[in-house]
Amino acid sequence: MSFEKLGLIKPLLRAVEELGYENPTTIQTRAIPLVLAKSDIFATAQTGTGKTAAFALPILQKLRNAESSEDRAIKAVILSPTRELSIQIYEDIKNYSKHMHVQCEILVGGKDLENQQRALKKGTDIIIATPGRFLEHVEKGLNISGVEMFVLDEADRMLDMGFAKDIRKVHPMLPKRHQTLLFAATYSDKVRKLSKLVLTKPAFIETSKKNSTVDAINQVAYMVDTDKKAALLAYLIGSRNFPQVLVFTRTKVSADALILELQKDGLKCGILHGDKTIANRMKTLTQFKAGEIRVLIATDIASRGLDIEELPYVINYELPSVPEDYVHRVGRTGRAGRHGEAISLLDIYEKFDIRDIERVIGMKIPQEVVEGFEPDPTIRRKDQDELKLKNEHKKPEVKFQRKNPKRHSSNARPKQESKTPTKSFIKPVTKKKRKTTKRDAK
Ligand code: AMP
């Protein structure tokens, strides 16, 4: 899915492109068409899922007619629990609307009310506010009779912070016919009660349940060259004093190679993969649970259903080939609300694969570099190098036919563990096959 396909107008498409957004996140894909179709929305989505753009982009699109109007009336009100979140929303909206002429004001506590009133006199299309300060303005005569869109962002947090009363007071002052979008990270009774009051036939969007990575898990990705991954892993375990860690590899071959590397560093390791007998796997698991093994290396299939309590660290030595497996892997830590940390070691090939994972989990994973393990900037993706060479030298095109199309994807990259070279399943097509003669055979 692309932003174009969601039906967004050009000024918004330009803005998201300039921000580097390539594709909409799950919440954006689901919410944008519904908001454009004037539906009320009840969405459970956490910060980091791209929820701000999910409501801000369609709101801006619906305001495009306001661009030409001289006497601006407030058309959209966005309430958020804190000053900080309001400022963040304000800045996001400024970025999204930079190719449009939309006015936006921010009304938060701790700032001079009269100054805010003066700014409002110039006219604004959108108001972003904390509930208490917004109510103060309304009670002092702010005209909200033209409001068409009302957003309650992080509604659960607003209720926890005691803003229920303010919201309940504001709501009846809004025009009868308006669209309401409610976003909450959790689906509590309080939120449900509020939703009954403010929403009319809402569409439900749940993005944080199935594929979400638990809140308590701190996720980070370290950029590193392929051949330095094992050293970085050993360094992280040692320098950060990880008592126990579960490490995922993509294949049995790389699990076997990794255990040899880590053992050289004196780390007590165990391995769980499909080639090990069940008895062997059970023994390894028991040793790990008893603390006799510090590093447990596992492939995705072998790790399914693993229930190890209080596992604070999960490391993705290689990203999984199926993005959804990331959720299963990372779900091994941060259980029952405990703190957990999920670290992914990303080489230049995986830098691109992680985007698929981010799409599935609906959030960005911060990418960092560990001092002393900075990736070599001269190393580039092989397929990009090939493309560059091809363009430079204009080599005659050779048509390739895949022997086994299932093993090939558009995002294909050389499998590090595969012993057979990539060429083995790609075969050039020659138009006429030369017949073998007896003489040739000789
Ligand atoms: P939010 O959940 O709205 O706080 O957004 C979290 C972060 O994701 C912000 O830094 C946004 O700028 C960024 N973001 C939002 N949508 C996208 C997208 N489609 N692609 C990449 N980044 C995004």
Q: DSSP strand E in 121-173: where? A: 126-129, 149-152
362 Cα–ligand 1 center, Å: 9
- Structure tokens given for 238: 């040692």
Give pairs for 229-234: CB < 8 Å, separation 24+. 229/317, 229/318, 229/345, 229/347, 230/258, 230/261, 230/262, 231/261, 231/373, 232/345, 232/370, 232/373, 233/258, 233/262, 233/315, 233/317, 233/345, 234/261, 234/262, 234/265, 234/267
Question: pTM of whole model > 0.75?
Answer: no
> What's the pLDDT score for residue 303?
64
Phi, psi at residue 220, to the nearest 5°?
-150, 150
If pLDDT is split at 50, 70 and 90, which confidence band does 406 have?
A: very low
19 Cα–ligand 1 center, Å: 9
Confirm whether 335 is domain-assigned.
yes
Q: Per residue in 301-334, pLDDT tens? A: 666 656 566 678 899 999 998 887 787 788 777 5
315 Cα–ligand 1 center, Å: 24
If pLDDT is split at 50, 70 and 90, which confidence band does 127 have?
A: very high
Domain range enclosing 42: 4-206
Q: How far apart are CA 221 and CA 242, in angstroms?
A: 17
By most ligand atoms within 8 Å of CB, the mutation choice from 25, 44, 183, 205 for ligand 1 is 25
Q: Per residue in 369-378, pLDDT tens? A: 999 999 988 8
What is the CATH classification number for the domain harbouring 85?
Answer: 3.40.50.300
If pLDDT is split at 50, 70 and 90, which confidence band does 351 have?
A: confident
Q: Are residues 179 and 240 in the same domain?
A: no
The residue whose two tokens read 């390791």 is: 269
If pLDDT is split at 50, 70 and 90, which confidence band does 163 have?
A: very high
* Atom from ligand 1 closest to the CA of residue 88: 4
Confirm whether 172 is domain-assigned.
yes
27 Cα–ligand 1 center, Å: 10
Confirm whether 133 is domain-assigned.
yes
Q: Are residues 266 and 375 in the same domain?
A: yes
- In our burial notation (b when 16+ CB lie closer than 10 A, e otherwise), range 198-213 reads bbeebbebebbeebbb
Q: Are 357 and 235 in contact (CB under 8 A)?
A: no
> What's the pLDDT score for residue 75?
96
- Structure tokens given for 25: 């996140």
* Atom from ligand 1 closest to the CA of residue 364: 8
Q: Whose CA is nearest to atom 6 of ligand 1?
A: 48
92 Cα–ligand 1 center, Å: 9
Q: How far apart are CA 388 and CA 157, in angstroms?
A: 51
What strand order describes the sheet that includes 126-129? Answer: 104-107, 126-129, 76-79, 149-152, 179-184, 41-44, 203-206
Residue 408 has pLDDT above 60, yes or no: no
By most ligand atoms within 8 Å of CB, the mutation choice from 21, 46, 215 for ligand 1 is 21
16 Cα–ligand 1 center, Å: 10
26 Cα–ligand 1 center, Å: 11
* Atom from ligand 1 closest to the CA of residue 51: 3
Q: Per residue in 22-73, pLDDT tens? A: 889 889 999 999 999 999 999 988 666 788 999 999 999 999 866 655 668 9
Q: Are residues 190 and 43 in the same domain?
A: yes
Q: Are residues 154 and 293 in the same domain?
A: no
Q: Whose CA is nearest to atom 8 of ligand 1?
A: 50
46 Cα–ligand 1 center, Å: 11
> What's the pLDDT score for residue 272?
87
Q: Whose CA is nearest to atom 18 of ligand 1?
A: 21
Q: Per residue in 382-400, pLDDT tens? A: 666 666 666 666 544 544 4
Q: Are residues 153 and 279 in the same domain?
A: no
Q: Whose CA is nearest to atom 20 of ligand 1?
A: 21
Confirm whether 284 is domain-assigned.
yes
Residue 180 has pLDDT above 60, yes or no: yes
Lowest-confidence pick of 40-49, 340-349, 412-421: 412-421
Pocket residues: Cβ below 6 A from ligand 1: 21, 24-25, 28, 47-53, 364
25 Cα–ligand 1 center, Å: 8
Q: Are residues 254 and 351 in the same domain?
A: yes
340 Cα–ligand 1 center, Å: 23
Last residue of a domain, one of 361, 383, 405: 383
> What's the pLDDT score for residue 69?
59
Q: Per residue in 210-244, pLDDT tens? A: 444 555 678 899 999 999 999 999 999 999 889 89
By most ligand atoms within 8 Å of CB, the mutation choice from 55, 358, 364 for ligand 1 is 364
Q: Per residue in 12-25, pLDDT tens? A: 999 999 999 888 98
Q: Are residues 146 and 259 in the same domain?
A: no
Last residue of a domain, one of 349, 383, 417: 383
Burial class (CB in 10 A: 0-12, 13-18, 19+), 317: buried
